[in-house]
A = this chain, B = another copy of it.
Amino acid sequence: MRTFSERLWQAVDAKKTPAMVGLDPRPDHFPEPFRSAAAAGEAEAARATADFHRELLDVLAPKVAVIKPQAAFFEVLGAAGFAALADAVEACRERELLVVMDAKRGDIGSTSTAYADAFLNPDTPFPAADALTVNPYLGEDACQPFLEVADRVGAGLFFLVRTSNPGAGLFQDLGQPSLSEHVAAAVHRWGESRRDAHGWSSVGAVVGATRPAELADYRARMPHTPWLLPGFGFQGGTAEGLEAAFDAHGHGAVVNSSRGILWAHERQDLQHLGDWQARTDCAVDEMIAALRPVQDAARAAT
């Protein structure tokens, strides 16, 4: 069984980009006919969500390697929405796309095991994702069950180290070293026994990409940790300075955009393109182009 880190970089190499697209379904922003279909009722909204994602994934699959469904936007659609989340994972697997389930779960003991089994274990009813985001607030014994399940099934984890929201520092910047730096040290430690033949671990980190200098510092603290860099595009992040996340092979991080891709079909400057698929495809191309100099810079620097 290949490790998550091996599958991740192989997928990134195959598509020649670390771009990741987030699925944050908001039916009001679906292209037609999905938007109208979703407006007909609760069951219809969940059904339109599943239908839209399958067509969207057909656009994305030739170009990006990794998809990040955001559980919240499915759960707000109720139990049928949770089924649409399962369907999105299945649709990704059918298209050989890696899935990072962005659910930011975290609890204690057997409850953490239940969350990890729910989203990562192929022997439970929900289709298995390749990796899961985890909130570390509850401590090591609370994170351990996620690590154990991930080990057993060959999955990855992305622990929240530093998030990208403006107020992230209220708790995460406390202390010297800061809380985020303590979490980074723990994530590094958890990952050291879980490294692949190339040195990369399957224990990853979410690192908010708002200050480039911070990235280099976190990279020194977590040299073998795959990163999920959120906030590209809509949240104000740019590709500038991201090269600290990558090594000479262009490995080290996946960079997420959600609304920048999902809402691209609404962009005025793309209306000349015939359909929503063409506009989405154009936004994906833009993102990939914006990230190319990052990997090139990382290659040149090492």
Within the complex, what minimum Cβ distance (angstroms) separates A295 from chain B? Answer: 27
- Chain B residues in 8 Å Cβ range of A167: 138-142
CB pair A80 B138 closer than 8 Å: no
Structural contact, A81 and B125, CB atoms closer than 8 A: yes
Within 16-45 of A, Cβ neighbours of B (below 8 Å) are at: 24, 42
A78 lies within 8 A of B179 (CB): no
List chain B residues, Cβ under 8 A from A111. 24, 70, 72-73
Interface residues of A in 134-169 (CB under 8 A from B): 135-142, 160, 163-169
- Identify whether the interface residues of A are mostly helix, strand, loop, or mixed: helix
A11 at the interface (CB under 8 A from B): no
Q: Using Cβ atoms and an 8 Å threshold, which residues of chain B touch A140?
A: 167, 170
A277 at the interface (CB under 8 A from B): no
B165, A115: Cβ atoms under 8 Å? no
Question: Which residues on B sit within 8 Å (CB–CB) of A183?
Answer: 171
| Other-chain contact of A165, B105, B142, B170 (Cβ < 8 Å) | B142
Once A111-B70, A139-B170 are accepted as A-B contacts, the answer to whether A75 and B118 lie under 8 Å apart by CB is yes
Known: A75-B118, A140-B167, A170-B182. 10 other contacts (CB 8 A): A72-B111, A72-B118, A78-B86, A78-B118, A136-B137, A138-B163, A139-B167, A174-B174, A175-B179, A179-B179
